[in-house]
Structures are given as structure tokens and as C-alpha cells.
């Protein structure tokens, strides 16, 4: 009797523990939802896609009403972002932070949006920003925190700042020697002290792809999670992948400065699928699945065993992102522009169910725009037209070792024409190019190169002159870039 009772109790305990572990692990995966698209899916469609796939956390770069509204009652936890260009205002004091919190946090929280964090700025200390946000980030954090307290939501909503992994480093390359970057050391300690005092996490973005992009000698296998021929030996620990090493460099930096118990959230982690020789479906899948399986194991990293809290970067490709960092920048999505999964990915790690597409997506007609077969490639108008098209639309899938890198010259021109035509919602004036172009109902896609049909975003479609916010300057730069590839 007693033994049976004990067995039942043990079994129940086991179930409880397993459920607890299951919950904790599935709790751990979030995703970044960026919105720099010419044709965004409706927010409600995206929220349903998040739910269908079991994402229970989302990170936003801005506080868009339509998106926060769609997240109402969804059960999805939200990290809402403040763009860097608002930091100066929020730092200046006055009513700016109170107003921001009232409009963009407390109202939504009352409406049932589960906001947990405010991300004040986005990677504001990136070295490429030349120190622009060094003086404003922390005061803005303090003012937003004070405003949250005043609004009575500070218990639930924490203030943090997503930082690029370049704010910490190790002089020897060994994680255990990690410390904060010398030029911002004092500022980092001030911020970490603030995080420790409010119980907010340190949010770090970790990008093995960028390490590889920046250094062709970076050992490729060290980026993935299947062991490396070039592991980093650090005392008694051998690091087999750069994610663990990078994460633990931060853990060491926190410990060294007396904040070993500040929690860490990986704000962005991912791999792009196009626009660079190392950005492809195979590597992206290998990295993302490797990462997900790694964290699903619950083992954590050598210096921080246990669950890892992370947001994948990113949800959907964004054809309006700046390509200043590189052409891959528009291809970080685990989903294509239309909410179709790019490759099978199991969020739960291992062999669990793979990504499900967005439901109910409406497309434009099955029509493409291509170069007329009779067109003369020697015609100066061809080059000019391609520059123009690629200046206003997205041609980042053209290039050395990209998905459309194998096209011939005519294919290149057609790709550019179609990209523009779709961006302009298949307006017939957008498939003319001085008589060089024609529409077709035969899909010109070939091999890995996909000629897309845009999604139907309805009334917002009348934009041929607005050109969706791309400046003439950017158009010229991009055009020149593409032209140089074509010739």
C-alpha cells in the first residue's frame, strides 16, 4: 500500500518535473518581428502564424499600434522596442518618457497586451554609430523606468537595452577572460548595475554569421553545433561552438565586475539565407536547428548551465532593410516574405514538428514581368532600366553565390524587372521599361532562383510614385552596385 502510494507519488512527481521542464524549454523560444517590408502581411495573420508555431514571445523594434493591437489576448509575451532616433528626446527629461509609456505601454497593458520588457534603443553602442548614442541611452532607460513606476506597471514591465556582442570581448579569446569593451567600460557597469537593481536581463545579440562574414578564416564548423576541428580550450572547458564561447564571454564579464547573477537574454540569434556566399538555406538550417536543438537540451552553456532564453532573428524577410551591412541583411527570416517557411525547422529541437506557414495569405495575380526575348542586351536602356528597377525594388538575390547567381544576363535583367513590377503591385506601367519588358504567365523561376509574386496588401497598393519610401540617393547607389554586377 505504502509502496504503491509512494510509486504513484514518484510517478506524479516525475510527470510534474517533465511538464515543468517541457514548459520551461518551450518557454525559451521567442522571435524578432521586424516590419521593414514593402508588403507586410496583416498583423493578425502574423500573430496567428506565431501561435500556430508555438512562439510564446516576440520582440518588436518599435511600438506600432496595429501590431500591439493584434497581440492583444494572444498569450504571447512582448518585448517592445524604442528606435535609437528617439533616445535623445527620451533622455532629455520632460514629459517625453511619460508620454511614451502612456501611449505605447500602459494603454496596451490595460487592453490585455502582455508586455514584459521595453527595449530602450537597439544596439546603440555599435562601433559603426561612432558614439552617437553613448550619452543618451542610459538617461533614456532611467526616464522610461521612472515613467513605468509612475504608471504603476514597473513590476511587470522591465527596462533593458539590446546590445551587440561587441560591447564585451576577451583579450585572449578565452571566454573566461571576458570583460566589457574598454572605451565604454564605466557606462556598461552603470547599465549593468541598473539591470541588477531592477531585476531586468542583460540582452545580447549574438551573430556567428557576422564573424564568418568579417573574417574568411573563421572556422566554419565552429559556427555550427556539431563539434569543431578548431575548438577553444579554456582551462578545464573546451568550447565546440562560438555561441557558447560568446555567451560565456558575457557571463565572465558580468562575474568579473561583480554581477554574476544578472540574467541573460539572447536578443537576436540567427543566420541569413541569401545575399552572400555563406548565406544559404543549408547553412541557415544547420545553424538555426543546431541552436534550437542545443538549447532544447536544457544543458545551457559551460558557465551558465540550464535554460537559455532567446529570440530568433528573424521571423520574416524584410525587403526594405538597409543593405549597408551587406546584401544578406534582407534575408534573415525563417519565413519568406509571404509567411511560407524557408526550410524545415523544428523549434522544439530534435525531430519535432516543423514550421507551419501563415494561413489565408492573398497573392496578386500569377503574372511576372520579364525582358522581351527580342530585346538587344547591348542597348544602353537595358542597363539604365536595371539600375532603376533595383534602386526601387530588391535585387539582393542577384550576386556571386546567391540564390539567383546562376542566371544569365537576360535572366538577371528579367529578375530585376519582375522585382520592380511586384513591388509596384503589378501596375502595368511598372512592366514597360521603355518597351523592353513584357508580362508572362509562365513562372520564370529556375533552380534556386525564385521570381516572386507579391502578396496582395489591398488598398495600400497605390504607390507607384511613392516608391515605398526609398530615397533617390539610395536608389542610385544600389543601381550602380547592381549595374557593376551585371557588366
Within 10 angstroms of residue 248's Cβ, the number of other Cβ atoms is 26
Strand, coil or helix: what is 180? strand
- Residue 282 or residue 400: which is nearer to ligand NAG going by CB? 400
Evaluate the omega torsion of the peptide bond into residue 314 and state whether it is cis, within 30 degrees of 0.
Answer: yes
Answer yes or no: are the C-beta atoms of 206 and 241 closer than 8 Å: no
C-alpha cell at 331: 534575408
The residue among 123 and 338 lying less far from ligand NAG, judged by its C-beta, is 123
Closest distance of CB 308 from ligand NAG, Å: 16
168 to each of 188, 212, 257, how far by Cα in Å? 9, 18, 12
| Cβ closest to ligand NAG, residue 187 vs residue 281 | 187
CB 202, CB 196: distance < 8 Å: no
CB-nearer residue toward ligand NAG: 103 or 359: 103
Cross-strand bridge partners of residue 237: 234
To the nearest 10°, report the CA torsion of 217, 222, 224, 228: 130
Q: Which residues bind ligand NAG (CB under 6 A)?
A: 62-63, 99-100, 103-104, 129-132, 135, 196, 199, 261, 293, 350-351, 398-400, 404-405, 407-409, 412, 485-486
Residue 130: CB minimum distance to ligand NAG, A: 4
Beta bridge partners of 335: 316, 341
CA distance 272 to 286: 11
CA proximity to 68, closest of 124, 30, 116: 116
Do the beta carbons of residue 191 and residue 141 sit within 8 Å? yes
User: For ligand NAG, which is the closer residue by CB, 477 or 486?
Assistant: 486
Q: How far is the CB of 1 from ligand NAG (least distance, A)?
A: 39
Q: Identify which of residues 231 and 260 has a Cβ nearer to ligand NAG in the complex.
A: 260
Q: Smallest distance, Å, CB 427 to ligand NAG?
A: 25
Choice between 123 and 248, CB closer to ligand NAG: 123
Q: Alpha-carbon torsion 335, 79, 244, 165, what sign?
A: positive
**Whole-number Å distance between alpha carbons of 73 and 443:** 41
Cα 446 to Cα 319, 452, 486, distances in angstroms: 21, 11, 18
> Taking the complex as a whole, how short is the minimal distance between the CB of residue 408 and ligand NAG, in angstroms?
5
**How near is the Cβ of 186 to ligand NAG at its closest, in Å?**
12
CA atoms within a 13 Å half-sphere pointing along the CA-CB vector of 265? 28
What number of residues does the chain have? 487
Would you say 246 and 165 are in contact if contact means Cβ atoms under 8 Å apart?
A: yes
Kindly state the smallest distance separating residue 413's Cβ from ligand NAG, in Å.
9
Cell of 349: 529541437
Which of 293, 439 has the CB closer to ligand NAG?
293
Burial of 435 (0-12, 13-18, 19+ CB in 10 A): exposed
Helix (H) / strand (E) element for 478: namely helix 472-486
Calculate the CA 271 to chain-centre distance. Answer: 9
* Residues belonging to the active site: 123, 268
Smallest distance from the beta carbon of 263 to ligand NAG, in angstroms? Answer: 7
Amino acid at each position: 500500500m505504502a509502496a504503491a502510494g509512494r510509486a504513484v507519488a514518484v510517478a506524479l512527481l516525475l510527470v510534474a518535473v517533465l511538464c515543468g521542464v517541457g514548459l520551461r524549454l518551450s518557454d525559451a523560444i521567442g522571435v524578432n518581428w521586424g516590419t521593414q517590408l514593402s508588403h507586410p502581411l496583416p498583423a493578425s495573420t502574423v500573430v496567428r502564424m506565431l501561435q500556430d508555431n508555438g512562439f510564446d514571445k516576440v520582440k518588436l523594434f518599435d511600438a506600432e499600434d496595429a501590431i500591439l493591437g493584434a497581440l492583444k489576448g494572444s498569450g504571447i509575451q512582448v518585448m517592445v522596442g524604442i528606435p535609437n532616433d528617439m533616445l535623445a528626446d527620451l533622455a532629455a527629461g520632460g514629459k517625453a518618457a511619460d508620454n511614451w509609456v502612456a501611449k505605447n505601454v500602459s494603454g496596451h497593458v490595460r487592453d490585455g497586451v502582455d508586455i514584459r520588457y521595453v527595449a530602450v534603443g537597439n544596439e546603440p553602442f555599435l562601433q559603426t554609430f561612432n558614439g552617437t548614442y553613448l550619452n543618451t541611452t542610459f538617461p533614456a532607460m532611467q526616464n522610461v523606468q521612472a515613467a513605468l513606476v509612475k504608471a504603476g506597471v514597473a513590476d511587470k514591465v522591465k527596462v533593458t537595452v539590446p546590445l551587440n556582442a561587441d560591447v564585451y570581448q576577451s583579450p585572449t579569446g578565452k571566454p573566461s577572460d571576458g570583460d566589457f569593451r574598454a572605451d565604454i567600460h564605466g557606462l556598461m557597469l552603470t547599465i549593468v548595475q541598473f539591470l541588477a537593481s531592477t531585476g531586468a536581463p542583460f540582452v545580447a545579440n549574438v551573430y556567428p554569421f557576422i564573424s564568418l562574414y568579417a573574417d574568411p578564416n573563421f572556422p566554419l564548423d565552429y559556427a555550427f553545433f556539431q563539434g569543431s576541428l578548431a575548438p577553444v580550450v579554456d582551462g578545464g572547458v573546451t568550447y565546440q561552438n562560438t555561441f557558447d564561447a560568446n555567451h560565456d564571454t558575457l557571463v565572465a564579464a558580468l562575474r568579473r565586475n561583480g554581477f554574476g547573477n544578472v540574467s541573460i537574454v539572447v536578443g537576436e540569434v540567427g543566420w541569413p539565407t541569401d545575399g552572400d556566399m555563406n548565406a544559404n538555406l543549408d547553412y541557415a538550417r544547420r545553424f538555426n536547428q543546431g541552436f534550437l536543438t542545443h538549447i532544447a537540451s536544457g544543458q545551457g552553456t559551460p558557465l551558465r548551465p540550464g535554460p537559455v532564453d532567446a529570440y530568433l532573428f528573424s521571423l520574416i524577410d524584410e525587403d526594405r532593410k538597409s543593405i549597408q551591412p551587406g546584401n544578406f541583411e534582407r534575408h534573415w527570416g525563417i519565413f519568406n516574405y509571404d509567411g511560407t517557411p524557408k526550410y524545415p525547422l523544428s523549434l522544439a529541437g530534435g525531430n519535432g514538428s516543423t514550421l507551419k506557414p501563415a494561413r489565408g495569405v492573398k497573392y496578386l495575380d500569377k503574372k511576372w514581368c520579364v525582358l522581351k526575348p527580342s530585346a538587344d542586351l547591348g542597348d544602353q536602356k537595358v542597363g539604365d532600366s536595371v539600375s532603376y528597377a533595383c534602386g526601387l525594388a530588391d535585387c539582393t538575390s542577384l550576386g556571386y553565390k546567391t540564390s539567383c547567381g546562376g542566371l544569365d544576363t537576360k535572366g538577371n535583367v528579367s529578375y530585376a524587372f519582375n522585382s520592380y513590377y511586384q513591388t509596384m503591385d503589378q501596375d502595368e506601367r511598372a512592366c514597360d521599361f521603355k518597351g523592353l519588358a513584357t508580362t508572362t504567365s509562365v513562372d520564370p523561376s529556375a533552380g534556386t532562383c525564385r521570381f516572386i509574386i507579391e502578396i496582395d496588401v489591398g488598398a495600400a497598393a497605390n504607390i507607384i510614385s511613392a516608391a515605398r519610401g526609398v530615397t533617390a540617393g539610395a536608389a542610385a547607389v544600389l543601381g550602380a552596385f547592381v549595374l557593376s554586377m551585371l557588366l
